[in-house]
Amino acid sequence: MASPSSFTYCCPPSSSPVWSEPLYSLRPEHARERLQDDSVETVTSIEQAKVEEKIQEVFSSYKFNHLVPRLILQREKHFHYLKRGLRQLTDAYECLDASRPWLCYWILHSLELLDEPIPHGGYTFCGLATLVILKKERSLNLKSLLQWVTSRQMRFEGGFQGRCNKLVDGCYSFWQAGLLPLLHRALHAQGDPALSMSHWMFHQQALQEYILMCCQCPAGGLLDKPGKSRDFYHTCYCLSGLSIAQHFGSGAMLHDVVLGVPENALQPTHPVYNIGPDKVIQATMHFLQKPVPGFEEHEDEATAGPSTD
């Protein structure tokens, strides 16, 4: 099965932060984006066709039930779902006993993106983010990585797959789309003249449509794809990806694209750390005030020898 190629990028009008064009997934020509297996079925192509059929059912149902397209992020339901998770987890989470710190992060970061009060207290993304932190991103072939990640956005579904010949998954809304701001920044530093100054290098509208139409559980929480169950992991990363798709740049370069009603707008997330930008500033200021351990201290400890007490 051939990998989906990258989208043709379109820039929304800068006069309004809310997308006003027809929904990408409801256009008549959108059906042409479905898988073409050239009459050669494989296990992968069969599974892809099944997923596309479920996605098509969602698109068709939405079109039938909404004379005027109006995508809405079910903020209140997602909020209550996340709040319940802070109070008590179901038995289904028993197998994630070792992931308790991650459960806290998934829930709390989702609440932060929803701009709700919270209590006080993908390998490629992690690799690139680490190099960005170390200021070593130039050691990568950025153009090849850009070609790879933009090809992971599924032309029919609008969401991202994790790797070639895999199915769309809501969590990659962040793990893959989150790579694009990092690559944008790195290529901009190299003076790439082809970069847009108003949108990322992926189809932001299509990703928002996939998350809002296909990944929201009616009872609150977000999920992998239609037919899957909601969980805190996918809730966190679907919302994180939605935030990336809504917000381009910062400061004078800020350009927001919010699909659906204005209330769908989420808080921005930091593209490297995936926490609120203000939290990054607070953490940076905190550690800047701390002394940096020197090698001399370790050498002194090594030469001191064992205690005679």
CATH of the domain at 141: 1.50.10.20
Q: Do 164 and 209 meet the contact criterion of CB atoms below 8 Å apart?
A: no
- Please tell me the predicted confidence (pLDDT) of residue 165: 82
The answer to the question of residue 22 being in a domain is no
Active site residue 120: yes
Active site residue 115: no
The answer to the question of residue 157 being in a domain is yes
The answer to the question of residue 195 being in a domain is yes
- Please tell me the predicted confidence (pLDDT) of residue 211: 98
Active site residue 278: no
Q: Which residue would you say has higher pLDDT here, 302 or 79?
A: 79
What are 64-73's pLDDT values in tens digits?
A: 887 666 889 9
Catalytic residue among 78, 234, 237, 247: 234
The answer to the question of residue 29 being in a domain is no
Q: Which residue would you say has higher pLDDT here, 278 or 63?
A: 278
Active site residue 163: yes
Active site residue 171: yes
The answer to the question of residue 36 being in a domain is no
Catalytic residue among 24, 172, 210, 237: 172
What are 8-36's pLDDT values in tens digits?
A: 333 333 344 555 568 889 888 998 999 98
Domain count, the chain: 1
Active site residue 169: yes
Q: Give the whole-angstrom CA distance, residue 241 versus residue 109.
A: 12
Computed over every residue of the chain, the mean pLDDT equals 85
Catalytic residue among 210, 215, 231, 236: 231
Domain range for residue 49? 43-87+97-288
Active site residue 224: yes
The answer to the question of residue 104 being in a domain is yes
Catalytic residue among 120, 135, 286, 290: 120
The answer to the question of residue 21 being in a domain is no
Catalytic residue among 78, 152, 155, 224: 224
- Please tell me the predicted confidence (pLDDT) of residue 299: 55
What are 155-210's pLDDT values in tens digits?
A: 999 999 998 889 999 999 999 999 999 999 999 999 988 899 899 999 999 999 99
The answer to the question of residue 16 being in a domain is no
Predicted confidence (pLDDT) at residue 142 exceeds the cutoff of 70 = yes
Which residues have a Cβ under 8 Å from the Cβ of 178 and sit 6 or more positions away?
125, 240, 241, 244, 271, 274
- Please tell me the predicted confidence (pLDDT) of residue 303: 59
Tell which residue, 51, 49, 29, has the closest CA to residue 41: 49
The dihedral formed by the CA atoms of 41, 44, 46 and 47, expressed in degrees to the nearest 10: 180
